[in-house]
């Protein structure tokens, strides 16, 4: 499935049906009174957050969405049928913005949430409504009111308990594949991951949602590499799992580079709870590993754990750790 996290669309609620100017016509009744019914209300356009969606790609190919109009009223005081509402499904974490793409209208943070983005127009009044003691045969009726219409932006910010960050090729996707049901693309070159991937890890009858964020490079907060478009997905995560390839020559530089990018983009993100994971420890002997951990611990106050995705014991250990960080 292709990933899309921002899209511009047009929504139009249904117009209300017109009222009827009908008069009663029956055999042996020469002057029947007014019997025009009201028009039906137009359908509204409603967004609903769905659990099994994680992209806005459907709105790439259909950008105009219109609800049904209400039916006109008719004789015998029959009210027109109201138009059906149009339900548009969006992923959890979707934000609705006005046409300027800056003014936030609504933010979906719970599954099943609904938001009426455009209200249907009210139906017009039939001539029966205007009957009075002084006006026994009103010909007056009203047209239905037009439904609301807007051009809006949808932006998706991934909601997850844990967000995996780090430089390209640090092993983020390998970890996600090892501990969750996700199937991200994995290869031994930079920028294998081009979109955020979501997975759910289960351990000890508990579960945690994990997001694999594409690798960040220097200048990402300015749009370099895959840039700003993916930094926003980190904003929603409760905890950041900072993954570092332990075979890097300068671990301090690798660590500080990512921290600086987060701080430059949004200082609040850099203050989130963090777990540092030194990955690929199967490529280092034990003596060197102890020395590396001791030296690196000078540069961070966050908890440091080691990992190799090739050992089941190591995978179980990090699963347990992530559950504790997600709670």
Calpha distance 131→134 (Å, rounded): 8
What the block records as the tokens of 53 is: 């969606």
Long-range CB contacts for residues 314-320, cutoff 8 Å, separation at least 24: 314/281, 315/178, 315/179, 316/203, 318/175, 318/179, 318/277, 319/179, 319/201, 319/203, 320/203, 320/204
In the chain, DSSP finds a helix count (H) and a strand count (E) of 7, 14
Task: Give the alpha-carbon dihedral of 21, 25, 29, 34, to 10 degrees.
Answer: -20
Are 177 and 91 part of one and the same domain?
A: no
pLDDT tens-digit readout, 37-87: 999 999 999 999 998 887 898 898 899 999 999 999 999 999 999 999 999
Which of 128, 156, 184 represents a domain boundary (last residue)?
156
Residues 6+ apart with CB under 8 A from 115: 46, 47, 48, 96, 106, 108
Are 139 and 201 part of one and the same domain?
A: no
pLDDT value of residue 36: 95
Residues 6+ apart with CB under 8 A from 150: 10, 11, 98, 99, 117, 118
Q: What residues form DSSP beta bridges with 97?
A: 104, 153
pLDDT tens-digit readout, 219-264: 544 444 444 566 777 888 889 999 999 988 888 988 898 888 888 8
pLDDT tens-digit readout, 216-228: 655 544 444 444 5
Which of 135, 156, 177 represents a domain boundary (last residue)?
156
What the block records as the tokens of 249 is: 């020559």
Assign residue 101 a region (left: φ > 0; alpha: ψ between -120 and 50; beta: otherwise). left
Are 297 and 200 part of one and the same domain?
A: yes
Closest to 198 (Cα-Cα) out of 73, 51, 63, 61:
51
Which of 156, 177, 209 represents a domain boundary (last residue)?
156
CATH number (domain holding residue 15): 2.70.210.12
Are 85 and 112 part of one and the same domain?
A: yes
Check if the beta carbon of residue 266 is closer than 8 Å to that of residue 273.
Answer: no
Give the total number of structural domains in the chain.
Answer: 2
pLDDT value of residue 220: 44
Are 175 and 136 part of one and the same domain?
A: no
Backbone angles phi and psi of 292, in degrees to 5: -65, -45
pLDDT tens-digit readout, 16-42: 999 999 998 888 777 788 999 999 999
300: burial class by Cβ within 10 Å (0-12, 13-18, 19+)? middle
What the block records as the tokens of 118 is: 């455009």
User: How many CB atoms are closer than 10 A to CB 63?
Assistant: 12
User: How many CB atoms are closer than 10 A to CB 50?
Assistant: 17
**pLDDT mean over 94-121:** 95
Q: What residues form DSSP beta bridges with 212?
A: 164, 197
Are 256 and 137 part of one and the same domain?
A: no
Query: Whole-model pTM above 0.85?
Result: no
Are 166 and 129 part of one and the same domain?
A: no
* 169: confidence class by pLDDT, cuts 50, 70, 90: confident
Are 190 and 78 part of one and the same domain?
A: no
pLDDT value of residue 190: 43
Query: Could you list the residue range(s) of the whole structural domain that residue 22 is in?
Result: 1-156
Closest to 71 (Cα-Cα) out of 21, 164, 144, 10:
144
Over its C-alpha atoms, the chain yields an Rg (Å, rounded) of 29
Q: For CA atoms 185, 190, 194, 198, give the dihedral sign.
A: positive
Are 68 and 206 part of one and the same domain?
A: no
Are 103 and 237 part of one and the same domain?
A: no
Are 152 and 166 part of one and the same domain?
A: no
User: How many CB atoms are closer than 10 A to CB 74?
Assistant: 19
CATH number (domain holding residue 276): 3.40.50.300
Are 218 and 244 part of one and the same domain?
A: yes
Residues 6+ apart with CB under 8 A from 69: 14, 15, 16, 17, 42, 43, 83, 121, 144, 147
């Amino acid at each position: 499935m292709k990933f899309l996290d921002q899209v511009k669309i047009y929504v139009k609620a249904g117009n209300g049906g017109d009222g009827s100017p009908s008069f009663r016509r029956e055999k042996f009744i020469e002057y029947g009174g007014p019997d025009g019914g009201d028009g039906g209300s137009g359908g509204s356009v409603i967004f609903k957050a769905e659990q099994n969606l994680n992209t806005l790609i459907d709105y790439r190919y259909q950008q105009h969405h219109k609800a049904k109009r209400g039916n006109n009223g008719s004789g015998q005081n029959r009210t027109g049928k109201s138009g059906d509402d149009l339900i548009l499904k969006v992923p959890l974490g979707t934000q609705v913005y006005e046409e300027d793409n800056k003014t936030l209208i609504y933010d979906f943070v719970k599954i099943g949430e609904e938001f009426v983005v455009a209200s249907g127009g009210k139906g017009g009044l039939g001539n029966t409504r205007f009957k009075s003691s002084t006006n026994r045969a009103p010909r007056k009726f009203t047209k239905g009111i037009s439904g609301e219409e807007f051009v809006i932006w949808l932006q998706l910010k991934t909601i997850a308990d844990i967000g995996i960050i780090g430089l390209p090729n640090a092993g983020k996707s390998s970890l996600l594949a090892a501990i969750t049901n996700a199937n991200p693309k994995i290869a031994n070159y930079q920028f294998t991951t081009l979109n955020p991937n979501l997975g759910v890890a289960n351990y000890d009858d508990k579960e945690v949602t994990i997001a694999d964020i594409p690798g960040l490079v220097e200048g990402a907060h300015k749009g370099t590499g895959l840039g700003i478009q993916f930094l926003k997905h980190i904003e929603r995560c409760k905890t950041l799992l900072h993954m570092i390839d332990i075979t890097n020559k300068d671990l301090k530089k690798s660590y500080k580079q990512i921290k600086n990018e987060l701080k430059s983009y949004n200082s609040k993100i850099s203050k989130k709870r963090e777990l540092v994971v030194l990955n690929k420890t199967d490529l280092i002997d034990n003596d060197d590993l102890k020395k590396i951990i001791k030296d690196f611990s000078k540069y961070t106050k966050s908890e440091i754990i080691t990992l190799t995705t090739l050992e089941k014991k190591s995978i179980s250990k990090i699963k347990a750790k992530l559950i504790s960080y997600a709670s």
